[in-house]
Amino acid sequence: MSAPLLCEGRVVVVTGAGRGLGRAHALAYAAEGARVVVNDLGVGLDGAPGPGSPAGQVVDEIRSAGGDAVAHGGDVATTEGAGSLVRAALETYGRLDTLVNNAGFLRDRMLVNLDEDDWDAVMRVHLKGHFLPLKHAASYWRAEAKAGRPPVARVVNTSSGAGLLGSVGQGNYSAAKAGIVGLTLVAAAELGRYGVQVNAIAPAARTRMTEGAFASMMAAPEGGGGFDAMAPENVSPLVVWLGSAASAGVTGRVFEAEGGRITVMEGWRAGPGVDKGARWTAAEAGDAAVKLLAGAEVPGAVYGAG
């Protein structure tokens, strides 16, 4: 007998699912039995509209493989677009079980050259584009719980190593991705009572967004047929598990996924400390800080530094 499908009967929304990681996630969920709402605005790397309908193409792929999917082309960084995304799931399939927030793009600049518009655009798509779908999905799940139909709901947010460690030339992107971690922690704490688990991933893979920034890491596998460690499909199995009922009890966590490696990321927590019991002078505070730093772990290097 074949193993049961991990997401049989679940309805999954994936944003930014026309290409790259989002496409890989959508296909992987469908392969595990989920009905998928494939969202993609169909824009370029800079956020400008692009030709064709990548969401529709992914839906065709899913259907040709025997799966069930529907396309959504709304802008999830708007209240109307995010609301219509959740409605698309409810009106098409009658329910929503999993939300995968993945949409994003880059406008990289060094800080002294970073325009306000570039800052706002990246914050809007990454951070607001996570918040609004989460808000609308959570409103539905809360209503279900209050009506006596507690959901087994899952949210998978997409952060980045840039949000955990920083990345030179990506101040806007790093700040947005760090904000997504904070949003994940708050959502996990607030929504658990309604049957909602919220986690985040920090993926590393070859996509349109990363191929320029990490060109040296994105080479094809050696030998012409080995394991392609940078394929986006490597990240999707963890995302599918986190979005399934099988991940019961896992919430408020951040996972790094790259190639065949999965790592639980451990964020800010109290390290060495000292309490004088009274106000410090500036010189005393400095002396104390130097002593504490001598016993503290050295932070990871910022990507691109040095």
Q: Could you say which of 160, 167, 174, 236 is catalytic?
A: 160
The CATH class given to the 11-265 domain equals alpha beta
Q: Model-level pTM?
A: 0.90
Q: Could you say which of 128, 173, 247, 303 is catalytic?
A: 173
Cα separation, 192 vs 209, in Å, equals 33
Of 256, 207, 260, 259, the C-alpha closest to 230 is 259
Q: How far apart are the first and last CA of the chain?
A: 54
Of 275, 271, 258, the C-alpha closest to 299 is 271
Q: What is the arrangement of strands in the sheet containing 11-14, beginning at the earlier edge strand?
A: 68-72, 35-39, 11-14, 98-100, 153-158, 196-204, 254-258, 261-265
CB atoms within 10 A of CB 4: 8
194 in active site:
no
140 in active site:
no
| 19 close to 133: Cβ distance less than 8 angstroms | no
160 in active site:
yes
**Vertex 227 angle, CA 222 and 228, to 5°:** 80
Backbone conformation region of residue 277, classed left if phi is above 0, alpha if psi is from -120 to 50, else beta: left
Full 3-state SS string of 103-163: CCCCCCECHHHCCHHHHHHHHHHHHHHHHHHHHHHHHHHHHHHHCCCCCCEEEEEECCHHH
Low-confidence ranges of the chain (pLDDT < 50): 46-51, 213-223
Q: Could you say which of 29, 128, 177, 303 is catalytic?
A: 177
Domain positions in the chain: 11-265
| 46 close to 173: Cβ distance less than 8 angstroms | no
